A and B are shown apart, each in its own frame.
Chain A
Amino acid sequence: MMERSEAELIAAVLKGDAASFEPLVAKYSPRVFATARRYARRESEIEDIAQEVWLKAFDKLKSFRGEAPFEHWLMRMAVRTCYDFLRGHQRNRISSFSEISEPEEDWLERFVAEPGNAAEDADAAKMLINRVLEKLSPEARLVIQLLEIEDRSVKEIAKLTGWSVPLVKVRAFRARSEMRKILLRITQNKYL
């Protein structure tokens, strides 16, 4: 059987053929899961986010006008669902830094002694940045993730999040300073 195009599948779903949604889920789930994994750690939470994204996409499919690719529309939904998830789990991020692991401490010590010697591809650096990201407020985390880590433009972020361009800029400024404060707290505890 010939494979149906995305537009045909969407049209079929809108006509009431829910089974036509399945190929779309199969095609774009890797992207949805990758996005969810940037904001949640536990596999059960990641699955919940992905599930919510797809159920929202099904419910709001009527609002998809086909002007932009389906993937962009879906990613907007995924980012906003992740943001809602972060806001819903805010309490979890308030904890002390005393739980920094030994490899992370070693990496920091190496950085203090000789910044060039502390490799960014080290597992300890990855653990440390994940820990720092978890401490950020939901807005700051989303902005740092999209702007600094995924290297997206302010305009793109505005589209993804539904925030205005000036708001993204303000939040980016605040996010950077929030991150610096967290880093200062870590380093003050250990090295000052």
Chain B
Amino acid sequence: MKLAELQKKLIAAARLQAPDERVPYAFEKRITALIAARAKADRWVFWARGLWRAAAPCVAVAVVFGAVALFQPATPDNGNDLSQDFANTLLASAELPDNSSTP
């Protein structure tokens, strides 16, 4: 069989097929709506991207401060405990001698 001839014949058959230009109803409206929806979504993407970008520096700052707090050399304790001071101040009035009953 002559393959070249068969090839030519089939190519000719393909050429005879008229291209179908049908477009679905309101296709252009659908495209415009898609573009508008994407623009709305893009705004959210913009914010999300910004927040994600900000997250890394925030974590870095937290890590740095955490490390500083953890590895800071302990300040010499002069015997004053903050919680003890707080309790003393709060209960100071309760420990005062009651002078009202004495003449």
Contacts and interface: CB of A to CB of B under 8 A. Distances in A.
A125 B22 contact: no
B3 A34 contact: no
B16 to A, nearest CB: 5
B12 to A, nearest CB: 4
Contacts of B27: 25, 29, 47, 50
A163 interface: no
Contact of A55 (B4, B23, B34): B34
A97 to B, nearest CB: 14
Interface of B is mostly: helix
Contacts of B13: 120-122, 125-126, 128-129
Contacts of A94: none
Interface centre among A144, A149, A151 (most CB of B within 10 A): A149
Given A22-B32, A112-B1, A149-B15, A47 B6 contact: no
Interface string A103-138: 000000001100100101110011011101100000
Interface in B25-66: 27-32, 34-36, 38-39
Interface residues of A, number: 46
B6 A187 contact: yes
B1 A18 contact: no
B97 interface: no
Given A25-B28, A183-B6, A120 B19 contact: no
A169 interface: no
Interface of B: 1-7, 9-17, 19-24, 27-32, 34-36, 38-39
